[in-house]
Amino acid sequence: IEETLVLIKPDGVSRNLTGEILRRIEAKGYSLVDLRLVQADRDLLSAHYAEHEGKPFYEPLIGFMESGPIVAARIAGNRVIEGFRSLAGTTDPTTAAPGTIRGDLGRDWGLAVQQNLVHGSDSPESAARELALWFA
């Protein structure tokens, strides 16, 4: 059984969407293995987003992720890494497909960073690395 890291980003927590997002994950048949509410610091966020350092949205992204509590979840299931990415929808909430978390619930606020409610690990290597960071 595979595991992935799901983050409910500060926009999801502040918009009271935590229950709705976890409901969708559980309705798909995935299992909650571990859950925490975290105020992430810069060290954790710069490690998490190391691949994006230097990109134009990097600083706004870190600032956004520092702006409030995040729900970190360890989720298990068959092919859950790929499956959760599909459940989340594509990065931009404007064009994410209806039926997905970002497509149904995401808003485009016209800001310097996409506030797109959730993060999901994008490969087995990322999942192992990110789970070790958020569930040290």
Beta carbon nearer to ligand GTP, 77 or 120 = 120
| Site residues (vs ligand GTP, CB under 6 A) | 57, 61, 91, 112-114, 116, 119-120, 122
Which one of the listed residues 24, 48, 74, 119 is annotated catalytic? 119
Q: How far apart are CA 125 and CA 35, in angstroms?
A: 21
Q: Which is nearer to ligand GTP, 34 or 126 (CB)?
A: 126
Could you give the CA distance from residue 72 to residue 77 in angstroms, rounded to a whole number?
Answer: 16
Looking at beta carbons only, is 100 or 116 nearer to ligand GTP? 116
CA dist 73 to 27, 33, 76, 84, 131, Å? Answer: 15, 7, 10, 12, 9
User: At its nearest, how many Å lie between ligand GTP and the CB of residue 116?
Assistant: 5
Least distance to ligand GTP, CB of residue 13, Å? 14
- Active-site annotation holds for 119: yes
Distance CA 62, CA 54 (A): 12
Closest approach of ligand GTP to the CB of residue 78, in Å: 20
Q: Is 122 helix (H, G, I), strand (E, B) or coil?
A: coil
Q: Which of 89, 134, 81 is nearest to 116 (CA)?
A: 89
So which residues are the catalytic ones? 119
